Each structure stands twice: as C-alpha cells, then as structure tokens.
C-alpha cells in the first residue's frame, strides 16, 4: 500500500469518532476509553503523574526500595545458587541497560530470551555481543514455530489490536518459569516509568490473561499449544505467594534517560542502534508501522511521546512535530509486508482481507479483565495498608 493510502486509512479510522486531543500530552481519541477533565487533561496524564510521584519516590526517597538495599537482598537470596536473579533480554536499549546496571552492582543475573522467530539479525547480534562483554549467561527459549504461528494468526483473525500479546505473555510466563526452575526470587525488568508510563488498555490488553489468549486461540485454531510458555492466574498467584518471586523495575531507581543509555551501550558494550522503539523484532516493527495505524488507527508513538512529556524529557510541541511524520515512513513497510505474509504462510490477498475485517476488542471475547480489575482494586487497598509491596502489579 502506498504511503498516501496509509495516511488516508488512518484519517478515515480517526474520523469515526469526534476527534479530541489532550491539552497536556498528545494522547487522543484513538484510545476509545480516554477521558478528559474540565481542563482538557486526559486520564493518562493523571495516572502517569501519580506513578511518578508515588512509585518513583519509593526508590528515590530512601528506604527498602533503594537500589543498594534491593541489590543486597538479591545477593543474599542468591547465596548457594548459580544466579542472583533473572533478567529478560530482547536486544533493545531498556533491557540491555538493565543488564548493564545489574553487573555494575556486582550481581549475577541469568539472561532469558524468548526467540519467537521474528528477531532481526541486529537484535540477535546485540544480545550476543553485549552479554558476552558483560559476562552474563543466556538461556534462550526457541518457540515451536507452528504453534506460535497458529497463535499469532488467531489474534490477527480475532481482529483485536492485541497481536503482540502472544509474545508478551510468553515472555512474562517464561521469566516466572525460569526463576522457579533455578530457585530464584527476583525477576528484573527493563520497563520503566520515565519512558513508558502511558499505554492505554484499549490499545493492548492481555499480557497476564491466559484465559483471554486461550479463548482467542480456541476460537480460530484447532492446534494444541503444547509447549507455548503460559501461566494462568492461579499459577501467577503460586509464583508470587508461594514461591515468593518478586519483579523489580531497576530503571525506575535512576533518572533514566534513553539517549544517555544508548551512548553508554554503544561505547562500552558494542551495542548497535536499530532505530525505532521495539524494532528489534520484524513483526513488532511491521505491526506498529502498518497493522496498528492502518487497521486500528493507533500510533503507538503517541503513548511513548506522552510518557516523555509527563517525565519532562520532551515538549508537547516537539511531540506534535514528530507525529506529523507518518509512522509508516520507516521505508521498510512494503518489504516487511511481503516477509510477514510469507512467514505466516498467507497470500497478500488473504492478508488484506484480515486488514479489512471489522475491528474488535478484548471485550468481545471471554477474558479475566473484570476479575483483574477487582483484584487490582483489592491490591491497591492492600498496598495502602502496607500489606502488599507497593510495586506489586498484575
């Protein structure tokens, strides 16, 4: 599809609702669940500000969440074991910098990578080179491709904007499974409030909802997911409550600046920049540059830039200027379209049919979304009363 047609499709998708944009960040009505206050400020701004003032202050104001204290607890928990903690790596900036920080703290992490068959060559090289330089062992889980292909196709056929959930859920489950296998208590994550505080649920839902994933797959495929890494809510409760496994977002303990992190990784670890956010995977690059904007009218840069605006590292004017350039302008959309269709074993005509099918959401399928909402409310009460760790999340 030509660039002008892509832009036209995005505009047509946006035209279905009365268009409105937040007066503080750049989130807009492409999130169908967005709410604005009397000053035109959106719900995402309020939540992100709350995260920054409550969650980040935990790490910066001292106490049990300070990095040195957490590192000491990780070392103590790793005594007599092969490693102190687990870290998921993708070859991207955030996870690589998180691994770099762990080594600086004198910790012994085991890196875990989920190979879903879509890695770019550069991502694989980045993982190999940086972990070798850091002296970190790597455990790679290579997915059963036929199983995974059937799951990815099921999500595309379901017409929901959650086509990355099969990868995100598998990584999430794999980290808990590997931590359990090695008897480890800490999972270190590269997710961070400085660059990722905003991501609407209507744009992506289901990372920890196996009921939703299973239901979509059963609706569109007869294949059994025998070896696909997954975890039910019951299993998650087992990992957290019985095994005592904790997740820790290490980048929240510093004033994380991605540009500075890139400089360090290039200079010290031989890491190579690959361009856009999460473009280490060919499927992710194509999904974010083509499927999401053209079919769903979603430009994920809005959430990313809005996070940076709230963190004070980008101005709203800068973000609006960058958004004027189409997300499809990576120059690789046509090439990726051919590659993705072929790898998923679909004709271009069949792929276009999927693109034209009416849009659905997670609310059209059986899921645990309502149960999770109730649990989150309960967890918030538990956190306020000091019964649960403040950074615990579903």
Between 84 and 299, whose beta carbon lies closer to Zn ion? 299
Tokens of 60: 């910066």
Binding mask 112-141 for Zn ion (x = CB under 5 A): ------------------------------
CB of 30 to Zn ion, least distance (A): 13
Q: What share of the chain is helix, strand, coil (3-state, %, to 5)?
A: 55, 10, 40
Asked if residue 25 binds Zn ion (CB under 5 A), the reply is: yes
CB of 46 to Zn ion, least distance (A): 8
Between 45 and 291, whose beta carbon lies closer to Zn ion? 45
CB of 24 to Zn ion, least distance (A): 5
Instruction: Say whether 295 sits in a helix, a strand or coil.
Output: helix
Asked if residue 110 binds Zn ion (CB under 5 A), the reply is: no
Between 23 and 57, whose beta carbon lies closer to Zn ion? 23
Asked if residue 319 binds Zn ion (CB under 5 A), the reply is: no
CB of 306 to Zn ion, least distance (A): 6
Alpha helices, DSSP H, located in the chain: 3-15, 43-51, 57-60, 67-77, 93-104, 121-134, 145-158, 165-181, 193-196, 210-220, 233-237, 258-269, 282-286, 296, 301-311, 316-323, 333-343, 348-356, 369-384
Asked if residue 311 binds Zn ion (CB under 5 A), the reply is: no
The span of 8-16, 24-32, 102-110, 231-239 binding Zn ion (CB under 5 A) equals 24-32
Please report which helix (H) or strand (E) contains residue 112, including its range. Answer: strand 109-115
Asked if residue 48 binds Zn ion (CB under 5 A), the reply is: no
**Look-up: residue for tokens 């944009």?**
21
The span of 18-26, 87-95, 150-158, 211-219 binding Zn ion (CB under 5 A) equals 18-26
Single out the residue of 6, 21, 34, 45 in contact with Zn ion (rule: CB under 5 A). 45
CB of 15 to Zn ion, least distance (A): 21
In DSSP terms, 111 is beta-bridged to 87, 138
For 63, residues 6+ apart whose C-beta sits below 8 A from its C-beta are: 69
User: What torsion do the CA atoms of 235, 237, 242, 247 make, to the nearest 10 degrees?
Assistant: 100
Return d(Cα 304, Cα 311) in angstroms, integer. Answer: 11
Return d(Cα 128, Cα 118) in angstroms, integer. Answer: 16
Asked if residue 22 binds Zn ion (CB under 5 A), the reply is: yes
Asked if residue 42 binds Zn ion (CB under 5 A), the reply is: yes
Residues that bind Zn ion (CB under 5 A): 22, 24-25, 27, 42, 45
């Amino acid at each position: 599809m030509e660039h002008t047609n892509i832009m036209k499709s995005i505009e047509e998708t946006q035209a279905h609702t009365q268009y409105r944009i937040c007066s503080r960040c750049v989130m807009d009505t492409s999130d169908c669940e967005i709410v604005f206050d009397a000053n035109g400020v959106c719900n995402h701004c309020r939540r992100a500000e709350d995260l920054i003032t409550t969650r980040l202050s935990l790490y910066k104001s001292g106490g049990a969440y300070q990095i040195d204290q957490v590192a000491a607890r990780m070392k103590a928990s790793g005594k007599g074991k092969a490693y102190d903690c687990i870290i998921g790596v993708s070859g991207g900036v955030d996870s690589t910098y998180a691994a770099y920080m762990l080594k600086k703290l004198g910790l012994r992490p085991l890196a875990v990578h989920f190979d879903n068959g879509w890695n770019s060559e550069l991502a694989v090289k980045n993982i190999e080179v940086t972990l070798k330089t850091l002296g970190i062992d790597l455990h790679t889980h290579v997915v059963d491709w036929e199983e995974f292909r059937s799951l990815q196709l099921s999500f595309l056929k379901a017409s929901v904007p959650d086509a990355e959930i099969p990868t995100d859920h598998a990584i999430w489950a794999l980290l808990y499974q590997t931590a359990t296998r090695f008897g480890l208590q800490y999972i270190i994550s590269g997710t961070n409030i400085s660059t990722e505080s905003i991501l609407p649920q209507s744009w992506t839902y289901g990372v920890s909802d196996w009921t939703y994933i299973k239901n979509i797959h059963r609706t569109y495929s007869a294949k059994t997911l025998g070896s696909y890494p997954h975890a039910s809510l019951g299993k998650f409760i087992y990992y957290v409550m019985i095994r005592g496994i904790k997740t820790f977002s290490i980048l929240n303990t510093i004033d994380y600046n991605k540009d500075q992190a890139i400089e360090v990784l290039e200079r010290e670890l031989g890491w190579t920049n690959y361009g856009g956010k999460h473009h280490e995977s060919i499927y992710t690059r194509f999904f974010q540059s083509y499927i999401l904007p053209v079919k769903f009218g979603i430009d994920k840069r809005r959430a990313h830039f809005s996070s940076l605006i709230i963190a004070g590292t980008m101005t709203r004017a800068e973000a609006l200027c960058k958004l004027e350039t189409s997300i499809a302008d990576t120059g690789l959309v046509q090439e990726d379209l051919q590659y993705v269709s072929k790898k998923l074993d679909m004709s271009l005509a069949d792929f276009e049919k999927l693109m034209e099918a009416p849009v659905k959401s997670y609310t059209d399928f059986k899921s645990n979304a309502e149960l999770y909402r109730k649990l989150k409310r309960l967890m918030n009460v538990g956190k306020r009363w000091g019964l649960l760790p403040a950074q615990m999340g579903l």
